[in-house]
Chain A
Amino acid sequence: MANELDMTEEEKVQYIVVKIGSEQYGINISLVDNIVRMQKITRVPKAPAYYPGIINLRGEIVPVMSARNKMGLGEDVITNQSRIIILKLEVQGLVGILVDEVKEVISLGESEIDRSAQNSKRQGNTYINGIGKSGDELISIFEINSIVDEVAVS
């Protein structure tokens, strides 16, 4: 549809740019329910290590995961800038992701995202599906489905 309407301007997708460690990551804004400040996370015993626990989001229980831990980038460092991005996913429901800082919202067209870069790098687990270029900055686009687990059937 977009093609018919406007051939010259390609469809842009908005991403929330967050910082984890020294890297910047983009999360498709359509998946984000809201962003909350850091709050007390209740530990859940026997949960995978990358799930620090659950939080109370206005009366709802929301599991929070550490993207940093999942990607093997070490332990989270909680600062004043830390935020929890609440994602609303179809299968998994609400899931929070701990990030070090929320920077901005950017729009990227498909031409500004390099889809091939990450392929050869890490074998096995890749959590990004492209690298976006916004000015001088490089932003890794999260592949949410590989970050957040499939709902495990035990």
Chain B
Amino acid sequence: MDVSQYLDIFIDETSEHIQALSDNIMILENEPENKDTINEIFRAAHSLKGMAGTMGFKRMQHLTHDMENVFSEVRNDNIKVNSEMIDLLFNCLDAIEAYLDNVKSTSDEGTEDNEVLIKKLNAYLDGSAGDGGSDDSGDSAEAAPEETAEEAVEESTDSEDPNGKDHYKALKLDENDISKIREAAESGLNIYGLTIHVQKECLLKAARAFLVFKALEDFGEILHYDPSSSDIEDEKFDLAFSCIISSDSTDIEAMKSAVGAVSEIESVDIGKVTAEMYEKPVEEVPKEEAKTEAPAPAPAAEKPAAKASQKSSAPAKKAANKPVTARTVRVDIEKLDALMNQVSELIIAKNSIVSISSMDTSGAEYDSQSLHEQIEYLERITTNLHESVMKVRMVPIESTVNKFPRMIRDLSRKLNKPMELVMTGEETELDRTVVDQIGDPLQHLLRNSADHGIESPEVRKAAGKPEEGSIFLNAFQEGNNVIIQVGDDGGGIDTEKVLNKAIERGLVSEEEAENLSQKEIIDFLFMPSFSMAKQITDISGRGVGLDVVKSNIEALGGDVEVKSTLGQGSTFTVRLPLTLAIIQALMVEIRDEKYAIALGSIMNIEDISINDIKYVEAKEVIHLRGLVIPIIRLDQLLDCEPREEEPENLTVVVVKKGDSYAGLVVDNLMGQQEIVIKSLGKVIENNKLISGATILGDGEVALIIDVNTLI
């Protein structure tokens, strides 16, 4: 039996439960008496425990079990919620997340027992009324003496019954197995026999056996199964099964408790065994063999063979442990239905075209007209289809941002600054890949706000602000972009200080510095290794910061802007493209080359007489409805051949990024088209002006101009 097929679901659901726990514990901290929340927490913890148990992640199960006990005490009003306990619970959540990360990367939970946490949890339980609290600690303690007592009795009983105690001592092994045992013993390993009894009411015996063997494999190699491993898998055993294991560990109790931790296991018999115990009936034969020198190579030959099989199984196991990254998207059934509908429409459209093509060629004119209609129809469907597929790829940013309140809470305690995070627009949807990658930059911005932005309570009081700092994260859609604003009501960016630092670091001379605008000064913050923190904390100040944020966001096709008012706070605005792969674009011609400009960034298109061009600081600008817009001559920028004579009128495509505009001069407009963005290939990808290429209907290649780098 293999549980790996459930691993994806396990990972998904576990992260959901962890998130639910985290959210609810946050609520609990503020409203310790909220019964609904406690029940919610209890349920989540319980499911978590159940899932971990099913998947055989014992350590995770153990931890969640103890957490569940604490919750149950809270629910029964035996323990009062206090912030220390909340801290502890959050630490536990972190530990569970660490298990989950391990599972994700190796399909295994790892070896961290988190005993400290478990002890602390139990301390809470012991501190409580004691009735239900002892439940857990008693569990293992009670079980242990019982088993040891059994063991003592077991010594004498040695029966042939496979369900009997210590059946492992009476196993019938063949020559091969015995020699394996002998080899293992010779190489210094300890050999143990185990007989595992499952409970009578156990339904999934094979599954339990699988989990037992999985647990045992942590200790060493299983040399022999009784009944055979395939029989065990097919549940062809009654209530007990045995095995022999070679291990370099001498800790029988650890092994016993590991096996005992699998649910529905009645008891475990374990003891040291030797090869001699099994080879009595054939004693004579090996002795003879030992006498004559010739057959000696035979076992020797067997040895490498056994080793080889051992070796071959080891890498196989490793391969199975390859990272499991969740590449799944949960899709709203409605979105899928819409997709389904559009596909059926697509089929209808295809059929119409087929019927037109097979029609008599009598009315050629009529044909071309109806064909044209069908093509328009087809176009509409493909556009809708594209939209639907994009929607399927879209997920709310909630999954990424909902870990932030917890983070701010921790920071608040760590920095001794009361602060609160207010989030809006968590439901804003973005492409899955973007959502996955936007977490780190946002986290960084929030940490920045918490560490540098929000002042200490005393300073805030003096400035007439409420003691509790407020940090906000707003997300919303704007045209083809999603905007995420992260900011605070803290001290704002001291441009004076930034400038001094920039001069100190030689990024700018003092003369140049005088002419810099506020915006240009703030842009220094995005330079690599430019840290304003006076001291390095583990929260920020190492100088790997905003530049990484910027490059991460740019890698996603977005950009980041800062607005800051000294004394009132600062706001970082992150702008991200809604979709990545397909965009609507305006196709333009410059000389004989074709370029695409994303429609989302185009504001309008103007026909401008050459006389309307004015000059500001020796740069060409146009004055358009109250806006002064700089002119960018794309032909010069893109190194096209110069024109022989300048035309009277220029076609200008006005593009916009945030609050800035630019007018791009093109030769010709070709029209709007839906284009698929393709990479330029790695060797020339580092081209800033061109964000990609697309293939036109006639197979020609057109380049996509990256408007963001122009402005």
Contacts and interface: CB of A to CB of B under 8 A. Distances in A.
Are A and B physically bound partners? yes
B681 A63 contact: yes
Contacts of B679: 61
Contacts of A42: 593, 693, 700-703
Interface in A3-27: none
A44 B682 contact: no
Interface stretch (A86-94, A98-106, A107-115, A138-146): A86-94
B703 A92 contact: no
A56 B700 contact: yes
Contacts, number: 78
A144 to B, nearest CB: 12
Closest 10 CB pairs of A and B: A154-B686, A63-B681, A45-B638, A42-B701, A61-B678, A151-B682, A47-B684, A61-B693, A56-B701, A92-B682
B683 A153 contact: no
B683 A149 contact: yes
B689 interface: yes
Contacts of A45: 637-640, 687, 689-690, 703
A59 B681 contact: no
B683 A92 contact: yes
B479 interface: no
B151 to A, nearest CB: 55
A148 interface: yes
Interface residues of B, number: 25
A61 B695 contact: yes
Contacts of B695: 56, 59, 61
Interface string B603-647: 000000000000000000000000000000000011110000000
A91 B682 contact: yes
Nearest to B590: A45
Contact of A46 (B689, B700, B702): B689
B687 A151 contact: no
B686 A95 contact: no
B527 interface: no
A40 B678 CA distance: 18
B683 A44 contact: no
25 contacts: A42-B593, A42-B693, A42-B700, A42-B702, A44-B680, A44-B684, A44-B690, A45-B638, A45-B639, A45-B687, A46-B638, A47-B684, A54-B681, A54-B693, A54-B701, A61-B681, A61-B701, A63-B681, A65-B683, A93-B681, A93-B682, A93-B683, A148-B683, A149-B683, A151-B683
Contact of B687 (A46, A62, A148): A46
Contacts of A149: 683
A51 interface: yes
A62 B685 CA distance: 11
B671 interface: no
Contact of A94 (B593, B681, B701, B702): B681
Interface residues of A, number: 29
Given A42-B700, A47-B687, A153-B686, A63 B680 contact: yes
A43 B683 contact: no
Interface of A: 40, 42-48, 51, 54-56, 59-63, 65, 91-95, 148-149, 151-154
B699 interface: yes
A92 B639 CA distance: 26
Contacts of A44: 680, 684, 687, 690, 703
Interface in B663-698: 678-690, 693, 695
A63 B681 CA distance: 6
A92 B680 CA distance: 11
A110 B206 CA distance: 58
Nearest to B705: A45
Contacts of B702: 42
Contacts of B686: 152-154
A61 B689 contact: no
A51 B684 contact: yes
A55 B682 contact: no
Nearest to A153: B686
A43 to B, nearest CB: 7
A153 B685 CA distance: 9
Contacts of B688: 46, 154
Contacts of B689: 45-46
A55 B685 CA distance: 14
A13 B681 CA distance: 28
Contact of B680 (A48, A54, A65, A154): A54
Given A45-B640, A45-B687, 9 more contacts: A51-B684, A59-B695, A60-B678, A61-B695, A62-B681, A65-B683, A91-B682, A94-B681, A154-B688
A116 to B, nearest CB: 30
Contacts of A62: 681
Nearest to B694: A61
A59 B695 CA distance: 7
Nearest to A40: B700
B285 to A, nearest CB: 39
A95 B683 contact: yes
Contacts of B701: 40, 42, 54-56, 61
A117 B89 CA distance: 71
Nearest to B592: A43
B683 A51 contact: yes
A60 B701 CA distance: 10
A154 B685 CA distance: 9
A154 B639 CA distance: 21
Contacts of A148: 683
